[in-house]
């Protein structure tokens, strides 16, 4: 293995200083002496026909420069990744209470907000549906046409009837998950500026710049070249600053082009809660069959996701849920169906895990219940059925790369001392007020977009005349530490110090469309593109060095700021080489592009290879439950994950610890409450998220299983830790109390009223 100089080493994040000193520029920090402030009037009904919107009074309010409705949209008032049915402003009807009806631009934020009261709206109420069960019934009010079921993905493997016929034990279970807010610290914010040439510049905390640019092109009826989107520092996203940012950017851009002045729009926290999309609530029905020895024979799954008012990324979210429905286990016969359903509620979309937290919650609770039915240790059941190199997944894909799943199981079990600790806790008095329990959950996750779309990314590496390096990437930094990773890769390839590498902000005017920052694809796709670009520059530099030094030696290298020959002899400073290349007319500027391997998915048959590679992980948790109050304390947590190759150890730890924290909130506390389409939870005083005092003692286990597709073998870790935190904790609660919780969150009431463990 190569002796890495920068990759795999502990380094400080390249964006750390600006964030800790307050110098980092966030979208709400943007200012212009001529700027206007935008405000939105939102719907007061969940489902209604728009009869009329009268803005004549509002335009005369002091300070008001423009008031726009859907009739003022220059292009198409619809956009969307797969199904373009999301509106910039409501036109024919409103579909949930967060829908925007009109926007105002005024000289102050107070004047803009005041002008909203001068807009007269007439709405005709329509029958509404608030749950997927209602929405799927025959005769239910159609939200986007006759049927509210707009997504159906399936998986088929073997013959399901044969699988259940061979089973000695069959279980049926239903599990549900909750509506979840991203809870990022920075609410959505943008600044739109007319460029004076008929185009527009949008700056903001945008996660997927090219998605937003395409949406703006449709809405503004402008060519892509006339729209520039630049990312400011992002104060948290977790998948949440995608479609909602396109809406905000489109409204601000319309106002800017109408007034000829910069327009800033910043959501309040309440506005963010009302309009930003959430994680999908799921209802999941399972039937599983197994032999007496624990071998799985069949799995039947039906998942229903509440999409809310608009499609957004639901087709992709639901697809990822169903293709990974069987978890990291070998099941000979599988039948799975997953549906996305419209309702008149806040819409749902991408959130960390992207369909996996829901499915993993279901299958991992099911495996524990099956283990109890068979009288087996849950760890033994998972090891018996766990996928290995050469196994075939639920979709029929043969795993031809090394599979580290069993290693994550065994290493996490050793770290928490699973066997001994479980035996000790089984001996606790049943009537004790406080009882402890230990639980686990495991997963495999497809890396990158897979069959969701073409997976490719670009990067530019430019060595300056003083030997310092500039990097541009087509993939966004949204707080995950991506810029640090690509800076390390660049420094490793070019033999420079990390301090000599500068990663410039994400800008659509500079870089080719490289797709979104989602699906844990950043390091694999963007990192490989960066390595290729840097590799091309490196070859140029070494070729010129040989000419300058008049040597034919092929063993020359770039290391720690020097050109060195065999034996590590320093021959020339890299900064001197860079200056010489400039004098010789050699451009040390290269573009790197990486397209992921081709895959095959048969949508009709529900079979194929949905991803080109996978990551594997196991979480284990020990909890203490107060059986009189239902309070749960998580005492210790072990998280073992296959990350391919560790590029930045501190970054991996941050992703694991942060993922666990978010997963604990999903498991124990978090839920956005709605009543008949009206949002009850409007701010953090009512939406509970874990604090530092709720965090357990955590141990991260990094399993290095280098992948041939990733840079230096690196894969991903941003989402897997979150996906399986909740089921690990809930399984531990059930072990402690002897009662089964099957619905998220496992709050005080559900823990106290959990169903007794019975054989059914």
Q: For residue 359, give both structure tokens.
A: 């499915």
In a domain, 160, yes or no: no
Q: Given this model, what pLDDT does residue 200 score?
A: 98
Regarding whether 644 and 580 lie in a shared domain, the answer is: no
Query: What is the rounded CA–CA span in Å between residue 596 and residue 524?
Result: 9
Boundary-marking domain end, from 595, 610, 633: 595
Angle at 257 between CA 256 and CA 260, to 5 degrees: 75
State residue 116 phi and psi, 5-degree precision: -60, -30
Average pLDDT estimate for 339-344 = 98
- Whether 582 and 696 map to the same domain: the answer is no
Q: Which of 211, 177, 454 is nearest to 321 (CA)?
A: 177
More confident residue, 503 or 755: 503
What the block records as the tokens of 433 is: 């007020």
Three-state SS for 183? coil
Residue-level pLDDT at 553: 74
Q: How far apart are CA 392 and CA 390, in angstroms?
A: 7
The answer to whether residues 563 and 618 belong to one domain is no
Residues 446 and 460 in one domain: no
146 located within any domain: no
Please check whether residue 747 is in contact with residue 669, taking contact to mean a CB–CB distance below 8 angstroms. Answer: yes
* 340, 303 Cβ separation under 8 angstroms: no
pLDDT reading at 430 higher than 90: no
Does 484 fall in a domain? yes
CATH number at residue 631: 3.30.365.10
Regarding whether 506 and 654 lie in a shared domain, the answer is: no
End-of-domain residue from the set 566, 595, 624: 595
Same domain, yes or no: 424 and 509 = no
Q: Which residue has the higher pLDDT, 753 or 9?
A: 9
Q: Residue 225: which of 202, 203, 200 has the closest Cα?
A: 200
Nearest to 577 by CA among 465, 500, 494, 502: 465
Where residue 204 sits, what CATH number does that domain have? 3.90.1170.50
Average pLDDT of span 25-47: 97
500 and 552 in a common domain: yes
Shared domain check, 443 and 304: yes
Are residues 468 and 392 located together in one domain of the fold?
Answer: no
In total, the chain counts a number of residues equal to: 760
511-524: b (≥16 Cβ within 10 Å) or e: bebbbbbbbbbbbb
Q: pLDDT tens-digit profile of 618-663?
A: 999 999 999 999 999 999 999 999 999 999 999 999 999 999 999 9
User: Do residues 626 and 545 share a domain?
Assistant: no
For all residues of the chain together, what is the average pLDDT? 95
One domain, residues 390 and 489 = no
Vertex 220, ends 219 and 224: CA angle to 5°? 100
Q: Which residues contact 758 (CB under 8 A, 6 or more apart)?
A: none
Tell me, yes or no, whether 179 lies in a domain.
Answer: no
Q: What is the pLDDT of residue 760?
A: 32
- Start-to-end C-alpha separation, the chain: 53
Q: Residues 463, 557: one domain?
A: yes
At residue 2 the predicted structure's pLDDT band, cuts being 50, 70 and 90, is low
The residue-averaged pLDDT of 360-369 equals 98
Determine, yes or no, domain membership for 544.
yes
Q: Could you tell me which residues come within 8 angstroms of residue 103 by beta carbon, excluding any fewer than 6 positions away?
A: 38, 39, 40, 41, 67, 68, 89, 251, 254, 255
Q: Note the pTM of the prediction, 2 decimals.
A: 0.96
CA–CA separation, 379 and 288 (whole Å): 18
Is it the case that residue 520 has pLDDT exceeding 90? no
551 falls within a domain: yes
Confidence class for position 570, pLDDT limits 50, 70, 90: confident
Q: Is residue 141 part of a domain?
A: no
What is the count of structural domains for the chain?
A: 3
Give the number of other Cβ atoms within 10 Å of residue 649's Cβ: 15
How buried is residue 199: exposed, middle or buried, by Cβ count under 10 Å (0-12/13-18/19+)? Answer: middle
d(CA 225, CA 228): 7
Residue 553: give the domain boundaries.
Answer: 16-23+456-595
Which of 542, 572, 595 is where one domain is finished?
Answer: 595
Structure token digits, residue 594: 């990486």
Closest alpha carbon to 158 in 393, 432, 374: 393
CB within 8 Å of 40: residues ≥ 6 apart: 100, 102, 103, 104, 116, 251, 265, 271, 275
**613/401 Cα distance (integer angstroms):** 8
Is residue 52 in some structural domain? yes
């Amino acid at each position: 293995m190569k002796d890495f100089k920068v990759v795999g080493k502990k380094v400080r994040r390249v964006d750390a200083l600006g964030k800790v000193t307050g110098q980092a520029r966030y979208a709400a920090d943007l200012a212009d002496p001529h700027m206007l402030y935008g405000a939105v009037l939102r719907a007061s009904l969940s489902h209604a026909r728009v009869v009329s919107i009268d803005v004549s009074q509002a335009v005369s309010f002091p300070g008001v420069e423009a008031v726009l409705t859907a009739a003022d949209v220059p292009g198409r008032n619809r956009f969307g990744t797969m199904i373009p049915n999301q509106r910039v402003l409501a036109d024919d009807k409103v579909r949930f209470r967060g829908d925007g009806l009109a926007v105002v631009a005024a000289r102050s934020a107070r004047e803009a907000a005041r002008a909203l009261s001068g807009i007269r709206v007439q709405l005709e109420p329509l029958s509404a549906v608030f749950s997927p069960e209602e929405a799927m019934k025959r005769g239910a009010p159609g939200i986007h046409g006759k049927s509210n079921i707009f997504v159906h993905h399936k998986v088929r493997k073997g013959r399901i009837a044969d699988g259940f016929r061979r089973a000695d034990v069959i279980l049926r279970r239903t599990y549900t998950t909750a509506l979840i807010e991203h809870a990022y610290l920075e609410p959505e914010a943008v600044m739109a500026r007319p460029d004076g040439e008929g185009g527009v510049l949008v700056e903001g905390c945008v996660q997927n710049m090219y998605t937003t640019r395409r949406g703006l092109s449709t809405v503004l009826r402008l060519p892509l070249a006339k729209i520039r989107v630049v990312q400011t520092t992002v104060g948290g996203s977790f998948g949440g600053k995608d479609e909602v940012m396109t809406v905000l950017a489109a409204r601000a851009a319309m106002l800017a082009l109408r007034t000829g002045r910069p327009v800033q729009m910043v959501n309040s926290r309440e506005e963010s809660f009302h309009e930003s999309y959430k994680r999908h609530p799921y209802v999941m029905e399972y039937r599983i069959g197994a032999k007496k020895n624990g071998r799985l024979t069949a799995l039947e799954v039906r998942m229903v996701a509440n999409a809310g008012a608009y499609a957004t990324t639901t087709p992709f979210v639901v697809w990822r849920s169903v293709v990974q429905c069987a978890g990291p286990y070998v099941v000979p016969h599988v039948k799975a169906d997953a549906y996305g359903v419209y309702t008149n509620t806040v819409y749902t979309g991408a959130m960390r895990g992207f369909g996996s937290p829901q499915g993993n919650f279901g299958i991992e609770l099911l495996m524990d219940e099956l283990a109890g039915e068979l009288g087996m240790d849950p760890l033994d059941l998972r090891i018996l059925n766990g996928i290995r190199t050469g196994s075939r997944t639920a979709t029929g894909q043969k795993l031809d790369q090394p599979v580290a799943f069993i290693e994550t199981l065994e290493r996490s079990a050793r770290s928490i001392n699973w066997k001994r600790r479980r035996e000790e806790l089984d001996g606790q008095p049943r009537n004790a007020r406080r009882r402890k329990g230990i639980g686990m959950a495991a997963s495999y996750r497809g890396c990158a977009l897979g069959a969701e779309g073409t997976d490719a990314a670009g990067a530019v590496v430019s060595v300056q005349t003083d030997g310092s390096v500039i990097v541009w990437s087509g993939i966004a930094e949204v707080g995950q530490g991506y810029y640090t990773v690509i800076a390390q890769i660049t420094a490793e390839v070019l033999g420079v110090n990390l301090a000599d590498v500068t990663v410039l902000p994400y800008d659509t005017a500079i870089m080719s469309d490289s797709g979104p920052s989602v699906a844990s694809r950043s390091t694999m796709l963007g990192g490989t593109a960066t390595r290729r670009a840097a590799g091309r520059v490196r070859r140029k530099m070494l070729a010129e060095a040989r000419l300058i030094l008049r040597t034919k030696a092929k063993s020359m290298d770039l290391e720690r700021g020097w050109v060195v020959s065999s034996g590590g002899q320093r021959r020339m400073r890299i900064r001197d080489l860079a200056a010489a290349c400039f004098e010789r007319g050699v451009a040390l500027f290269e573009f790197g592009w990486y397209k992921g391997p081709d895959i095959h998915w048969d949508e009709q048959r529900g079979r194929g290879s949905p991803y080109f590679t996978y990551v594997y992980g196991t979480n284990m948790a020990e909890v203490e439950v107060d059986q009189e109050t239902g309070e749960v304390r998580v005492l210790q947590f072990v998280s073992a994950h296959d990350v391919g190759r560790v590029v930045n150890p501190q970054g991996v730890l941050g992703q694991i610890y942060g993922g666990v924290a978010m997963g604990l909130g999903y498991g124990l506390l978090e839920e956005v409450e709605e009543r008949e389409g009206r949002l009850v939870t409007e701010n953090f005083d009512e939406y509970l998220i874990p604090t530092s005092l709720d965090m357990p003692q955590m141990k991260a286990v990094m399993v290095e299983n280098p992948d041939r597709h990733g840079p230096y073998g690196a894969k991903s870790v941003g989402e897997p830790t979150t996906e399986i935190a909740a089921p690990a904790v809930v399984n531990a609660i059930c072990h402690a109390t002897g009662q089964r919780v099957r619905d998220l969150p496992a709050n005080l009431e559900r823990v106290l009223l959990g169903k007794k463990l019975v054989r059914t």
